[in-house]
Amino acid sequence: MAHPKLEKSVGSGATTPKKKKSNGAISPPAAKNSNGDAKPNGKVNGDSSINSNTNGNGNGHGTISTPTTTPSKRNKSKSTSTSTSQTITPRPESPIKVKVTVSDPAPVEHPLEKTSLWNWLVFIPLLTIVPYLFSRLHYSLPEPLPPYDEAGRPQPAEELILGHIQALETIGYRTVGTYEAIAGEEYVLSEVQKLVRICDEGGNLKCDWWAQKGSGFHAFEILEHEVLKAYVGVANIILQITAIHPPSCNASASHLDQDAILLGAHIDSTMPSPGAADDGIGTGVMLDVARVLVERNEPFDGSIIFLWNGAEGEVRNLVTS
């Protein structure tokens, strides 16, 4: 006997329950497959009832409906009952702030090695004794020679050379065209004339001297530039010492005047300088060497020419200016 609430399906033998009224929610019909079975739609509506379809084999499919909230009568606002689906939006995570503090690495302590006593014994002489010895070697100069040796023979003397340098330095800056330059020339000329008088008294040497005043011009190159330089009243002081009777010739033979040695130095100084080294020392050495030759009064072959010239520093002045 059939259940009064079930209706028989024609030709299939399947029973379908009557649909139960919901609270205003409408459940969509279930789809059927090729065999006539109902497919679940997988949706949840606002009704809490369960719709199920069963076939003759006892297999069934159902749709679960959940009821929607019905507004209360006390609420003045009208609202309709609808099927709603809630979407849950994940809350954004706040960024995590990480504070990184970079600190200097801890210093690495290396073990200190103590200097041994042998190292100190090696370094102390190197730092004290060796520099002292080198300083002594650097400043150790031979003892100055006196103007005459033990036998009374004339020889070059440091004190006389320094005397000539001091005399020229006392005059001052001997720049060409100044009174100091003329005073330096007069000092050298006076010393040469003293030597000539001593030479004439000896009788074995002949001393000739000249005091020239030259004027002219000459051309030369400086730093790839051609320069024409004129000069007026430049002094040259010359002393020539020759033996009257050279050792290689007899009294009747002719003199060999063509052989000569030339020594030169300049009297003037560059500006602004008293010219002790440039070239007071050269001037003083030449004056003392001439003294030794004259005072020894010994004949020799050939001639020795001493030339003290002026205006040598003008070339340097031209370059620096």
Listed range (4-18, 197-211, 227-241) with the worst mean pLDDT: 4-18
Please say if the pLDDT value at position 55 is more than 60.
no
The answer to the question of residue 49 being in a domain is yes
Mean per-residue pLDDT, 272-292: 92
- DSSP for residue 290: H
Residue 30 CB-density burial (10 A; 0-12 exposed, 13-18 middle, 19+ buried): middle
Domain C-terminal end among 41, 68, 95? 68
Q: What is the pLDDT of residue 215?
A: 85
Contact in structure between 184 and 171 (CB atoms under 8 Å): yes
Q: Which amino acid is at 62?
A: G
Domain C-terminal end among 50, 68, 86? 68
The answer to the question of residue 90 being in a domain is no
Within this chain, do residues 179 and 290 fall inside the same structural domain, yes or no? yes
The answer to the question of residue 29 being in a domain is yes
Listed range (40-49, 212-221, 262-271) with the worst mean pLDDT: 40-49
Rounded to 5°, angle at Cα 263 from 257 and 269: 145
* H helix intervals, 149-280: 158-171, 179-202
Please say if the pLDDT value at position 193 is more than 60.
yes
Structural domains of the chain, count: 2
Phi-psi category of residue 264: left, alpha or beta, with phi > 0 → left and psi -120 to 50 → alpha: beta
Within this chain, do residues 182 and 303 fall inside the same structural domain, yes or no? yes
Q: What is the CA radius of gyration of the chain?
A: 65
pLDDT tens for 81-130 read 444 555 666 666 666 776 767 677 777 777 777 767 777 787 888 888 88
The answer to the question of residue 109 being in a domain is no
**For residue 27, what are the domain limits?**
1-68
Q: Which pair of structure tokens corresponds to residue 22?
A: 């919901």
The answer to the question of residue 78 being in a domain is no
Q: Which pair of structure tokens corresponds to residue 1?
A: 């006997």
Domain C-terminal end among 30, 53, 68? 68
Q: How confident is the model at residue 4 (pLDDT cuts 50, 70, 90)?
A: very low
Average pLDDT, the chain: 74
